[in-house]
Structure 1
Amino acid sequence: MYIHLVNPGNEPVAAPTQSVCTCFRMRKLARLMSQRYDQALAPAGINLNQYSILRRTGGQGRPLGEIARELGMDRSTLSRDLKPLIESNWIESVPGLDARQRRLRITDEGRRVIERAQPLWRQAQDRIDQGLGAEGVAALHAQLDRAIAQLQDDAP
């Protein structure tokens, strides 16, 4: 349903209605949130996606598939997103427990990036928390956790 408005040229303009599509709303929220964090992290030379990957890689190293599952990404997307991190020497690929496995490990340089980025991330997090309020954040997190659990359980 569209509401037709009249613009200064007297041509009808369709005003968008609020979407009933849950995916649309979640993607819009995710984009808006990501923009806030990306802006905050820019002085550290990193974006939110890179920050998340670095934070979850760990010093002992973790298998690619494990990191992908934790991030909710498929392996091919994570592999593509890892390339600039490996090229920047923030993450390295090391042998796993057997010859077939490779583990990803954060480097000393990657740790320094995280040390620079952590306070910037915290500031962005605090601004969002303040804007939503403690109860709003708790309610949002509870709803998101329920949705994530339900969708993970229904995954093919």
Structure 2
Amino acid sequence: EDLNPLEEAEGYQRLMDEFRHTQDVLAHRLGKSRSHVANMLRLLKLPASVQKYLQEGVLSMGHARTLVGVDNAAALAEIIVKKSLSVRQAESLVKQITGGADDKKAAAKRKPKSYVPRDVDVMALEERLTGLLGLKVQIDGEGTEGVLSIAYKSLDQLDDLIERLTQLPVTKY
């Protein structure tokens, strides 16, 4: 059958609930990528009005994916529909409207801090992990404790990272 993206997502959720499958197992059984299943399931988190637009074909899958995780998704969907924006235009609109919060975070990071020399070994480890993952890695620490940050630029990159990390063997310390 030809299912709309929302029906497909609901079907995936039903299968996961009924058979207690993870996204990874379900994706494997269906011959889909885990990121595809994850992206489809994210559609179920959209507000009802946005889901209705998607179901009716007023918004495309690309439009809907742009709105996932945005606080004012319903209002943005209205603008996208009224102005008949393309997916790229919708992405620009979302970035423009939500970019204010990101700009404030970036400005806070640019504030001068007292200079603390970085450990050469930590910097080498950051470079190594960045090369292995293909994503920017930052390690901040003091003494024996710290924080490892991995920056991603899209949900697909995050899904791929999670996929790779969950495939690693578990070692107990």
Regarding TM over 0.5, the answer is: no
TM range (shorter): under 0.3
Greater relative contact order, per chain length (Cα 8 Å cut-off, separation 6+): 1
Per the normalisation by structure 1, the TM-score is 0.28
Comparing both structures, which one devotes a greater share of its residues to strand? Answer: 1
